[in-house]
Amino acid sequence: MSAKFYAGRVIENRHWTDTLFSLRVEGPRLEFEAGQFVRIGIEPTLVRAFSLVNPPGDPVLEFYGVVVPQGPLSPRLAHLKKGDVLQVASNPAGFLVLSEVPDAETLWLVSTGTGIAPFLSILRTETPWRRFRNVVLVHAVRYARELAYAELITRILQQRPSFRYVTFVSREPTPGSLAGRIPAAIRDGRLEDAAGLALGLRSHVMLCGNPQMLKDATAALAERGMRKHRRRNPGHIAVESFW
Ligand SMILES: Cc1cc2nc3c(=O)[nH]c(=O)nc-3n(C[C@H](O)[C@H](O)[C@H](O)COP(=O)(O)OP(=O)(O)OC[C@H]3O[C@@H](n4cnc5c(N)ncnc54)[C@H](O)[C@@H]3O)c2cc1C
Ligand SMILES: NC(=O)c1ccc[n+]([C@@H]2O[C@H](COP(=O)([O-])OP(=O)(O)OC[C@H]3O[C@@H](n4cnc5c(N)ncnc54)[C@H](OP(=O)(O)O)[C@@H]3O)[C@@H](O)[C@H]2O)c1
């Protein structure tokens, strides 16, 4: 995949915790569909895929990242300051988009860690509210302080009566959040109880983040008769692995 790179200008690097950051970048106008990713870097020779957090049409591009301590790029992105240059590829891509999702009653957007990023873009468009009777955002993190974007999510909850937000915090007891992991809570019904909605063949589930969560959650959903969606063989599950 060869692409042109544009020099974007960092206008903010917000640190949510020591390791979680959001880069806001003024730069090229990119054509993309909510849920897609684009490759970014400091030099065009070291680039990584990042989901766009902003909705299409927004003049400021936003990326949500975690520092992987031994990673070649993410620690450097976390250090970028206002005014620094971020290289942004010209060709967003990816299939974790609503145009690939068949009609369903309930749309479940299920994420671990920074895997929430593409769903924040999707939730800021009109499409999910027009197409689905219910929309559930599920976010699993290790520690409560990693439940980023609470203000944005609260605003959407206030605006959209059909929206539910379910959180998991796996490594400390947290009132208002489920304990443990997503696949176990699919199996024992705790996820449905928390959302107040059934998770079955009238649902479509989009999964994003940790590849092992994608596998384990897909297996738990298969026990309910749900299968991966393919254009030629419609199903109920779409996945995007971050590594
Ligand atoms: C389609 C796609 C979209 C992506 N979108 C995002 C995004 O929006 N935000 C983001 O932070 N990352 C995202 N990633 C991951 C990103 O591309 C990089 O891998 C990540 O920023 C780490 O880069 P690195 O060079 O420091 O380490 P790398 O050499 O790329 O990764 C080293 C290791 O770090 C771990 N790792 C990588 N990414 C993550 C992560 N996000 N959370 C936890 N552990 C991770 C894995 O164990 C991986 O093997 C995406 C990846 C893909 C394929
Ligand atoms: N989060 C941090 O405090 C932190 C700090 C420094 C560096 N990092 C780096 O960031 C990366 C990890 O980041 P992260 O915490 O965002 O991602 P993560 O390890 O994927 O954890 C996010 C959530 O996903 C859960 N999870 C992990 N495996 C799962 C599976 N198989 N099925 C279902 N759920 C699963 C975790 O639960 P469990 O807790 O049960 O695993 C946690 O609730 C690592 O490279 C790490 O070195 C993270």
Residue nearest to atom 22 of ligand 1 (CA): 74
Span 114-140, average pLDDT: 98
Length of the chain: 243
CA of 124 to the centre of ligand 1 (A): 23
Residue 137: name the closest of 124, 123, 149, 126 by CA: 123
CA distances from 118 to 45, 50, 52, 70, 111 (A): 24, 9, 6, 24, 9
**pLDDT recorded at residue 3:** 82
Taking a C-beta distance cutoff of 8 angstroms, is the pair 41, 3 a contact?
no
Predicted structure pTM score: 0.97
Q: Which residues line ligand 1 (CB under 6 A)?
A: 37, 48-51, 63-66, 68, 71-74, 94, 113-114, 117, 240, 242-243
Average pLDDT over residues 77-85: 98
Mean pLDDT of the chain: 97
- In order of 34, 37, 130, 135, the CA distances from 56 in angstroms are 6, 12, 17, 20
The closest-lying atom of ligand 2 relative to the alpha carbon of residue 141 is: 43
Mean pLDDT of 1-22: 93
Residues with a CB atom less than 6 Å from ligand 2: 19, 66-69, 112-114, 140-143, 146, 168, 170-171, 181-183, 209-210, 212-213, 216
Running DSSP on this structure, what letter comes out for residue 233? B
CA of 100 to the centre of ligand 2 (A): 28
Nearest CA to ligand 1 atom 18: 48
For residue 44, what pLDDT is reported?
87
In sequence order, which residues have a C-beta less than 8 Å from that of residue 150 and are 6 or more positions away? none
Mean pLDDT of 4-23: 97
Q: What are 15-61's pLDDT values in tens digits?
A: 999 999 999 999 889 999 999 999 999 998 999 999 999 999 999 99
Residue 217: which pLDDT band, with cuts at 50, 70 and 90? very high
Q: What is the per-residue pLDDT for 1?
A: 55
